[in-house]
Amino acid sequence: MTSVVSRQFLLVDGDDTLWENNVYFEQAIEAFIDFLAHSSMSRDQVRAALDEIERMNVAVHGYGSASFTKNLRQTYERLTDRDLQPEDIEHVVQLGNRIATQPMKLLPDVAETVRYLAGRHDLMLLTKGHPDEQRLKIERSQLEPFFSAAAIVREKGEETYREIVRERQLDPARTWMIGNSPRSDINPALAAGLRAVFIPHEHTWRLEKEEVVQVDGRLLTLPAFGELRAHF
């Protein structure tokens, strides 16, 4: 793709696009499965059960570490083949709670690339999850000054992107969504008529994965965030 020289509007995802996020959930899940030590269910079966509980509860609990902790506890209470003990439940709760205490770790080349892009284009940070938790991540990232706006939404669907285009009077042909999630960042943005940059992350949440819609000329796939400088 040739370099884009005209000014574009870039929507940028936060979790697992700008900073590490899901890896901490994955670590908690592995520790949870170890602790559960189910006598007959395999690790994959336990994980599938947790996935299903998360899928069912997301409409009620939303996203974020607090919601995840509730799902982890529910999964333990449903699956354990030992007598329920308060100290065991507390241990499971702590596995979830410690996610919020993890350090802010920007992904490679993010700070330099965001600074570069902000000098050439209009940037808006678009993230979903619990408002307080996401706001804290944004503040700790120290990236907010490079964005013209930061929006925290409950879900990212096709209508989310259409609403942003309407409210900001954007030209969809010059508006890009940059992210790692096919389900929330890429496919709904493309469905709304925007362009998109897909930057896969090895720890993308399983429930955010789906086949990326193939479109002509509106989708760019890059191996790393720093590669954006060669295209924008």
Q: Give the Cα separation of 31 and 139 in Å (integer).
A: 29
**Percent with pLDDT over 70 in the chain:** 98
Model confidence pLDDT, tens digit, residues 19-37? 999 999 999 999 999 999 9
pLDDT at 3 over 50: no
Q: Give the Cα separation of 91 and 52 in Å (integer).
A: 22
| Strand arrangement of the beta sheet that strand 175-179 belongs to | 149-153, 122-128, 9-12, 175-179, 195-198, 219-221
pLDDT at 2 over 80: no
pLDDT at position 113, please? 98
pLDDT at position 5, please? 54
Kindly report the CATH number that applies to the domain delimited by 22-101.
1.10.150.240
Q: Give the Cα separation of 204 and 212 in Å (integer).
A: 14
Within a 10 A sphere around the Cβ of 144, how many other Cβ atoms?
Answer: 12
Mean pLDDT of 38-55: 96
Angle formed at CA 110 by CA 109 and CA 115, multiple of 5 degrees: 105
Q: Is 40 exposed, middle or buried (0-12, 13-18, 19+ CB in 10 A)?
A: exposed
Q: Is 177 exposed, middle or buried (0-12, 13-18, 19+ CB in 10 A)?
A: buried
pLDDT at 173 over 60: yes
Residues 6+ apart with CB under 8 A from 97: 65, 69
Domain boundaries, the chain: 9-19+104-230, 22-101
Which is more confident, 60 or 1? Answer: 60
pLDDT at 1 over 90: no
Model confidence pLDDT, tens digit, residues 68-86? 999 999 999 999 999 999 9
Model confidence pLDDT, tens digit, residues 136-158? 999 999 999 999 999 999 999 99
Model confidence pLDDT, tens digit, residues 175-198? 999 999 999 999 999 999 999 999
Report the first-to-last Cα separation within the chain, whole angstroms: 10
Q: What are phi and psi of 126, to 5 degrees?
A: -125, 110
Model confidence pLDDT, tens digit, residues 105-126? 999 999 999 999 999 999 999 9
Q: Which of 159, 161, 163, 203 is CA-nearest to residue 181?
A: 203
pLDDT at position 213, please? 87
pLDDT at position 103, please? 93
What is the fold of 9-19+104-230? Rossmann fold (3.40.50)
Give the mean pLDDT of the chain: 94
Q: Give the Cα separation of 80 and 97 in Å (integer).
A: 20
